[in-house]
Amino acid sequence: MAFPRVVPFLVLLTISTTVVVASAGNFYQDFDVTWGDGRGKILDNGNLLTLSLDKASGSGFQSKNEYLFGKIDMQLKLVPGNSAGTVTAYYLSSKGAGWDEIDFEFLGNLSGDPYILHTNVFSQGKGNREQQFYLWFDPTADFHTYSILWNPQRIVFSVDGTPIREFKNTEAINGVPFPKSQAMRIYSSLWNADDWATRGGLVKTDWNQAPFTASYRNFNANNACVSSSGTPSCGSNSTPASNAWLSEELDSTNQLRLKWVQKNYMIYNYCNDSQRFPQGLPPECKMA
């Protein structure tokens, strides 16, 4: 596996490598550990959550609330060392056959190789919109903030405040469905995917390294619309200023940051994969 392209240090300074510290939520209040037979744990009075994977089982959790649009942050510290074959998934998803979903997935690696950050967007059960990236830091050495801005106009994936991907709502122009009507819960899981995760399944999980553990803290969904019985509520502080994220878009500085990440760290973009789509690229790719 090739390492990311080296870029000048001065460029890195202009992008910002500092960790964005989100306002801490409480995992007891916000989430339920849903599977793993004790391998998922809420610790430190609700300030820390850990998921573990061994040969018998992985583990996972989900949010108590459903959200219909939001600006959501979570800090993660990924499985260190030889994590090949493991996947740490952090995503929003609705239920049913025509589900919507917004994905971060972190594909494990051999020691010394970079993690791959895999992103995808599903709308009405259709995905196949993968973009993959290397990161410009070691995601196992410390916590970093992974954010999703989801409003009626766009979905923006960000890492430590730097946007890495934007998926726009072009439904009125080309008919491509956009996730806009189904409330989604937040999910995360740590699981074994050595049939495909690392080098297409060539590298298998080394169970001598188990248990594998990922850690979470500082969840923040203060800027989100909680859905109850299909009716979204954006909180008691519903002033135009507090809900500015509902129409937020990338300013010129963040557009440059997005282009920087995609130039230097994107390793796969479905919109450039003409062999995969011999009948023509998906229509949203023409709007990029």
Active site residues: 101, 105
Q: CA-CA distance, 261 to 217, in Å (whole number)?
A: 25
Report CA-CA distances (Å) from 82 to 93, 114, 204, 280.
29, 11, 10, 39
- Do residues 101 and 125 touch, judged by C-beta distance below 8 A? no
- Do residues 174 and 282 touch, judged by C-beta distance below 8 A? no
Q: CA-CA distance, 273 to 188, in Å (whole number)?
A: 29
Tell whether the torsion through CA atoms of 181, 182, 188 and 193 is positive or negative.
negative
Q: Residue 96: how many CB atoms within 10 A of its CB?
A: 9
Percent helix, strand, coil in the chain, to 5, is: 15, 40, 45
